[in-house]
Amino acid sequence: MKGLRNCYLNLRHPQSSTMERKWIFPLAIGSIVSLFLLFLITLTTSPTSPHLLFLSLYHSAASIVFVESKLHPLPISSSHSPPRFGYLISGSAGDGMMLQRTLLALYHPQNQYVVHLDLESSPDERLDLHNFVKDHAIFNRFGNVRMITKANLVTYRGPTMVANTLHAAAILLKEGGDWDWFINLSASDYPLVTQDDLLHTFSYLPRDLNFIDHTSNIGWKEFHRAKPIIVDPGLYMTKKSDVFWVTQRRSVPTAFKLFTGSAWMALSRPFVDYCIWGWDGLPRTVLMYYANFLSSPEGYFHTVVCNAEEFQNTTVNSDLHFISWDNPPKQHPHYLTITDMSRMIESNAPFARKFQQDDPVLDKIDSELLFRGPGMLVPGGWCIGNRDNGTDPCSVSGNITSLRPTSGAKRLEVLIGSLLSGENFRPRQCK
């Protein structure tokens, strides 16, 4: 024990410090001389001036370390006109038939579609949707409808809805070919214009625009949504249940600014690609924050787009929907009926929600706005069949880029013109 103590003391208080200094000084001098000679050799053999050589070395190192500088948003598509849409149509238990109807009302060969019934729906209901997609002659002909067969569990008030949206977007980026805007809808949404109307109108728009209803004035949501911490059982359970609350509360973020708005949006392909890849870390950081945020679908994409410098000037403050809310708004909007028909048309919006399955107002929209027969696709310029004996004119297809817009295109043009007017659309939209 005494020997270990003496050894410890010798390590802490070495008695031969004078001897050690004798070889440290010559070593230091030798190193300095060697580095100086190496520097002189470099200058004499290199045709580059010392200053340019230093800058070259600096930039080479920076290009290796700061890989983010090599990554940029996808270029805006300009190779085809009209544009194309990538749709997600999602539903839960009991929504299977309504989802099929919405898909038929939204279908166009130019577009790409992902449909999803969440894990709460029965296997029979999901199988029925799968067979509907697989057996439809037009869907098979163009191969542009995909079903997420490994269903996700989705809780509207939790982050699982955001995860499901990102899942569908990733499928479309990987397998969906060329498209320009990603539009997320539920089975209780329904179009108020034909796809020819929508494609025709959007063919005149810059393809980097993101239609997303947003505001930084989060008001009461700061106390009721930003500061509470919730856990969504849908992240780790196989059965759906409501979110539960953690007793602790947290501060509002300072690393990024919170935005909120509608959960329904039309996002540009470059922005969707950025959300999936997240090369500068922001989309992933914000996603992890919103994993414990109540009603995260109403804030995640809004916060990302408004905190990413390259996308801040691309936002159009609209969700392109007609929705009837209470005042002040509650968790869910009113169901729309025939009494809302005139207000829906006057809104000039291309979509509306929420609808109950088989409500008579849907038949009225089909006949008066979409010109669609029961169980048929919405006719457009690509449909060259006839209607004899109740035949679906889209059973025979022609040029899929041929558009035949209706009066809905004029209504939509009024809405887009208003949204992009100098009064409403300005740089730095995110405020």
Question: Per-residue pLDDT for 7 more than 70?
Answer: no
SS3 412: helix
Q: Which two tokens stand for residue 124?
A: 């029979």
Tell me the pLDDT tens digit for each residue of 250-293: 888 999 999 999 999 999 999 999 999 988 999 999 999 999 98
Burial (CB < 10 A; 0-12, 13-18, 19+), residue 215, is middle
pLDDT band per the 50, 70, 90 thresholds, residue 6: very low
Q: Which two tokens stand for residue 384?
A: 């060259």
What does DSSP assign to residue 298? G
Tell me the pLDDT tens digit for each residue of 380-430: 999 999 888 788 999 999 999 999 999 999 999 999 999 998 877 865 578
pTM of the model: 0.81
Say which residue the tokens 């520097």 belong to. Answer: 39
Judge contact between 290 and 300, C-beta under 8 A: yes
pLDDT for the residue numbered 325: 84
pLDDT for the residue numbered 230: 85
pLDDT for the residue numbered 255: 94
Say which residue the tokens 């569990």 belong to. Answer: 153
Which residues, 6+ apart, have CB-to-CB distance to 116 below 8 Å? Answer: 88, 89, 90, 91, 147, 148, 151, 152, 164, 168
CA–CA dist 291, 301 (Å, integer): 13
pLDDT for the residue numbered 31: 56
**More confident: 414 or 239:** 414
Give the best-scoring range by mean pLDDT among 214-228, 336-350, 414-428.
Answer: 336-350
Kindly write down the DSSP assignment for every residue of 251-295, as one continuous string: PPPSSS---EEEEEEEEEHHHHHHHHH-TTSHHHHHHHHHTTSTT
Judge contact between 219 and 268, C-beta under 8 A: no
Burial (CB < 10 A; 0-12, 13-18, 19+), residue 94, is middle
pLDDT band per the 50, 70, 90 thresholds, residue 218: confident
Please count the other Cβ atoms lying within 10 Å of the Cβ belonging to residue 120: 18
Say which residue the tokens 């048309």 belong to. Answer: 345
CA–CA dist 342, 94 (Å, integer): 29
How do beta strands 260-268 and 210-215 pair?
A: antiparallel
pLDDT for the residue numbered 431: 75
Burial (CB < 10 A; 0-12, 13-18, 19+), residue 416, is buried
CA–CA dist 385, 397 (Å, integer): 7
Question: Per-residue pLDDT for 68 more than 70?
Answer: no
Question: Per-residue pLDDT for 9 more than 90?
Answer: no
Judge contact between 282 and 68, C-beta under 8 A: no
